[in-house]
């Protein structure tokens, strides 16, 4: 029954820590709650880990799954008006999940914005 994902899906394009707040789930607004997240971008998805990378790897061995975001058909845009913080962008998925990502460090957030935008632009829209 196990589906083996194609290799390209397993390839990590970028990973690192950002501030994350999920603000909608399936179109339903959530109370904003910023937290540090270890973020792993591959060609079709982003995974958010609540823990440090080490902790996340340990948890993965016990079958613990990170929150996964399907980038197919997703949108990314700067979201100045959504936060009092600087350097915030929003990812909106087809399923109506909305995430804000933020870093105080300009080049870090710019790198992430472009990496995610490139991944989305390479994918089919549906």
Please give the angle made by the CA atoms of 44, 124 and 71, to the nearest 5 degrees. Answer: 30
- Closest contact distance (angstroms) between CB of 108 and ligand I3P is 17
Contacts of 101 (CB under 8 A, 6+ apart): 18, 19, 20, 39, 88, 89, 90, 91, 109, 112
**Binding to ligand I3P by residue 24, rule CB under 6 A?**
no
Where in 87-106 is the site for ligand I3P (CB under 6 A)?
A: none
Binding mask 51-90 for ligand I3P (x = CB under 6 A): --------------------------------xxx-----
16, 111 contact by CB (below 8 A):
no
CA 36 distance to own-chain centroid? 12
Distance of closest approach, residue 47 Cβ to ligand I3P, in angstroms: 22
Is residue 43 involved in binding ligand I3P (CB under 6 A)?
no
Interface residue list for ligand I3P (CB under 6 A):
31-32, 34, 83-85
């Amino acid at each position: 029954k196990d589906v083996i994902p194609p290799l390209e899906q397993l390839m990590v394009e970028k990973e690192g820590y950002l501030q994350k707040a999920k603000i909608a789930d399936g179109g339903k607004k959530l109370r904003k709650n910023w937290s540090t997240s270890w973020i792993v971008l591959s060609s079709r998805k982003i995974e958010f880990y609540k823990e440090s990378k080490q902790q996340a790897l340990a948890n993965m061995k016990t079958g613990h799954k990170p929150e996964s975001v399907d980038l197919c058909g997703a949108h990314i845009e700067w979201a100045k008006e959504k936060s009092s913080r600087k350097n915030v962008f929003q990812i909106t998925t087809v399923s109506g999940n909305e995430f804000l990502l933020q870093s105080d460090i300009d080049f870090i957030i710019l790198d992430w914005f472009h990496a995610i935008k490139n991944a989305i632009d390479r994918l089919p829209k549906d």
